[in-house]
Amino acid sequence: MIETTLERGVGLRIRPWLGIAAAASFVVASFMALIWAPADAVQGEVYRIIYVHVPSAWLAYLAFVVVFLASVGWLWSRRPLFDAIAVASAEIGVLFTGLALVAGSIWAKPTWGVWWTWEPRLVTTAVMFVMYVGYLLLRGLSTDFQRRATRAAILGVILVIDVPIVHLSVLWANSLHQLPTVLRAAGGPALDSSMLLTLMVSVAAFTLVYAYFMSARVAIELVRQERLWIRT
């Protein structure tokens, strides 16, 4: 009980500031992405979707790695907070995986010429989406708190294997998706400094949104844990 009050108290004090920071950085990122950054020499204005697509994909990775860490935390210590973090992060991760897929699809049509094609990066990302939808389903169908948390944690550990596969899938010979622009194997980021700065600000803005969503969703989950299951 004391633990919960403490957790919720810290959450309550930080959350409004997180919200303000997320909203403000979002306004700045939107301005930079839509007006301040130059058009691309080859793609023209269409390339600006990168400022939504890449941060969404980054958040998907981040969220699922957090699910993995929280799952290990639960299996290790059985602290309910870890379970709350895992479910919150999984839900946000599914949301942003979907957003990355949709934004990527909208970007692909005018540039590649197709909405979708069976290419390694696209397929592994879609598989990752379905896997974590399954994770949420498993949680939704379970009825006992301890069992639900343990089963979900085991699945959370297994599923994280797909995250590096998605990221490295573009390195397989003969794929269509472009290689990572910022985290390149050789040399520095392959984009203009103003574009790089805009991308960095966008990623920061999305990460703040993630942190804000997390603080809110974890707080809801802690209340639910208390209402539905008597916590020790």
Partner 1 sequence: MLERIGSRRLLIVAALATAVIVGVFSVTNLASSTVYYLTPSEAKLRTLPTGQLVRLGGLVKVGSLSIRPLSFHGPNEFEFVITDGSVDVRVRGQGAIPGLLREGAGAIVEGSFTADATFIATQVIAKHDEVYTAPTAGATPAHRTSLP
Partner 2 sequence: MNRIALVAARELRAERRQPDGIVAATTFIAVLVLLESLVVGPVIARDADVAAALFWIALAFATILTTMRSFDRELEDDALDALVALPGGRDALFGGKVLALTAMLLLVAAVGGILSLVLLDLPLALPIHLAIVVLFGVVALPPVVIVDVILALRLRARAALVPILALPVLVPQLVAATRGASAALVGDDVGALSWAGLLFAFAVVYAVLGLTIVPAAIE
Which DSSP symbol is given to 170? Answer: G
- Residues 43-82 touching partner 2, rule: CB under 8 A, are 75
Contacts of 174 (CB under 8 A, 6+ apart): none
Stretch that binds partner 2, among 45-53, 81-89, 125-133, 177-185 (CB under 8 A): 125-133
Give CA–CA dist 203/164, Å, rounded.
19
Give CA–CA dist 86/78, Å, rounded.
13
2 binds, among partner 2, partner 1, none (CB under 5 to 8 A by kind): none
Give CA–CA dist 217/85, Å, rounded.
8
- 118: alpha, beta or left? (left if phi > 0; alpha if psi -120 to 50): beta
- Token match 């600000």: residue? 201
76 binds, among partner 1, partner 2, none (CB under 5 to 8 A by kind): none
Pick between residue 39 and residue 102 the one whose CB is nearest to partner 1: 39
**Nearest CA among 10, 24, 28, 84 for reference residue 197:** 28
Pick between residue 98 and residue 180 the one whose CB is nearest to partner 1: 180
* Residue 153 neighbours by CB distance under 10 Å: 23
Per-residue tokens: 84: 């709350």
Of residues 155, 166, 199, 222, which one binds partner 2 by CB under 8 A? 155
Query: Would you count residue 118 as binding partner 1 (CB under 8 A)?
Result: yes
Pick between residue 6 and residue 171 the one whose CB is nearest to partner 1: 171
46 binds, among partner 2, partner 1, none (CB under 5 to 8 A by kind): partner 1
Give CA–CA dist 73/195, Å, rounded.
38
Of residues 27, 117, 171, 223, which one binds partner 1 by CB under 8 A? 117
Site string for partner 1, 177-216 (x = CB under 8 A): -xxxx--x-----xxx-xx---------------------
42 binds, among partner 1, partner 2, none (CB under 5 to 8 A by kind): partner 1
Residues 115/105, Cβ–Cβ less than 8 Å: yes
Residues 142/86, Cβ–Cβ less than 8 Å: no
Contact footprint for partner 1 (CB under 8 A): 38-47, 50, 110-114, 117-120, 172-176, 178-181, 184, 190-192, 194-195
Q: Which residues bind to partner 2, rule: CB under 8 A? A: 75, 127, 130-131, 133-134, 137-138, 141-143, 146-147, 150-151, 154-155, 157-158
